[in-house]
Chains A and B, each alone.
Chain A
């Protein structure tokens, strides 16, 4: 672990997709997706606006893991209504290219002199009520799942999460708590994260994958597990 930590710190710094936090806030039965730095350790605007095409899909799950209807109420910020035991939201900010002068929200074919380019895709999973089903991967892409009931924990306890992609455990993936990298997953995709604060919990992971669509060098997949503890 001691050496991989070095790598994950580097990896985290190199993952632009993880630059902003994503989180869902609930008012009554209305869910709203925010982007920004309200809950993270990094400096920056509390919330950052995003475009109407940012959210690519959302799923509302009941305690059995079955999908339930979700009424989308707005696009920017995205909001929806539904009685969900868990909620999955998929977003993408599209293609990005880093040139010697700036970072553009464009594929590399439209950014002359691009030094590095990537496609950014994120997933947010909010667990509202615990069900053993939620210990399994819910997202076909990158998934961060609690291995036990997080609501049985209190501030200061550790939660073991499991990071998977397409249902298979991923080793060596950096995992952050509220934007601060705390460890990397083991061969079984697991890592223990201490829940340091009450309120909203954000546990995120990201991986960089090769991309051969001609528009970017790599795809950066990020996933955030979210739930709330008493303050």
Chain B
């Protein structure tokens, strides 16, 4: 179950980070254009020649069950990122995650830089009467009301220390700083500005992992991750003169986690399905965007749920904070 946590949270952060939180909202279009989710990927691509700096904290606080045992307490998933718009329809991102996985007192904590991830994103749109086309360089606010889509893909590079040893000398894949081998992701998004104030967003994505043999001889392949996220962003306040806007956001995130495979055998108490609800706010000021949200599991069907702790679906809450700057 710890392995599950490491794998999925690492990629969760990476996926959502590269998914350009706030990109849609950065810049002037955000003042009048479509809104963006707090965490899910949206269909905005970076303007050609523009660069995005990004930072995110995902603080996961876990439920604990056994009073006499040391369990996972919380984890902080930091993410620093940079993105660049190479054309009006293609953007590329690189992200460097830093993780802190903290147990209850007496446990084995883990802190360190994890695998770097790289992502590419292609943006296109559907124009009534004209069909699909790549996102053009110039779009009016009226153009931005059309359906917009992206296809994205990428993965992690094994830059983190997968064989990080804990204080007792052991290797816990769930607390390692990397997967040991590349992982791959692929996804699509769809976004539609329904009214001047309301924007709908959809993301479907998946992550696939490769088996890695650790220094202690154990082999682990983390289970697949499939996501379907839907979100609504509602403009609560807009002040064009001050270049300031606030959106209320509600996201529903469905996550299906496959069972981890350890030494060729499906691992007990890993994987499952869950639905998160994430209410939040997104702020825009000039070319800055700041988002915060509180994410909680609303429905779970976890494998051997009673044995899982410190994994997705077992959070008390997740606090999501992100900031981005476009220049």
Q: Residues of A with Cβ closer than 8 Å to B?
A: 1-7, 9, 13, 157-158, 175, 177, 182-187, 190-194
Contact = CB atoms under 8 A, between A and B. Distances in A.
A7 B240 CA distance: 11
B28 A158 contact: no
B213 to A, nearest CB: 46
A157 B139 CA distance: 15
A3 B50 contact: yes
Contact of A1 (B139, B286, B287): B139
B137 A9 contact: no
Contacts of A191: 138, 140
Contacts of A2: 26-30, 33, 47
Interface stretch (B141-149, B180-188, B261-269, B306-314): B141-149
B28 A6 contact: yes
B47 A183 contact: no
Contacts of A185: 138
B32 interface: yes
A6 B28 CA distance: 4
- Chain A facing B: main interface SS: mixed
Nearest to A159: B142
A91 B240 CA distance: 30
A161 B106 CA distance: 69
B31 interface: yes
A187 B287 CA distance: 23
Interface string B52-88: 0000000000000000000000000000000000000
A3 B138 contact: no
A14 B299 CA distance: 52
- In order of increasing CB-CB distance, the 3 nearest A-B pairs are A183-B140, A6-B28, A186-B138
Interface in B13-28: 26-28
A175 B140 contact: yes
A70 B319 CA distance: 70
A191 B27 CA distance: 19
A3 B137 CA distance: 11
Contact of A6 (B31, B136, B140, B142): B31
A183 B142 contact: yes
B29 A5 contact: yes
Contacts of B243: 6
B241 interface: yes
Contact of A3 (B28, B128, B143): B28
A3 B49 CA distance: 11
A207 to B, nearest CB: 17
Given A1-B47, A13-B241, A194-B145, A7 B140 contact: no
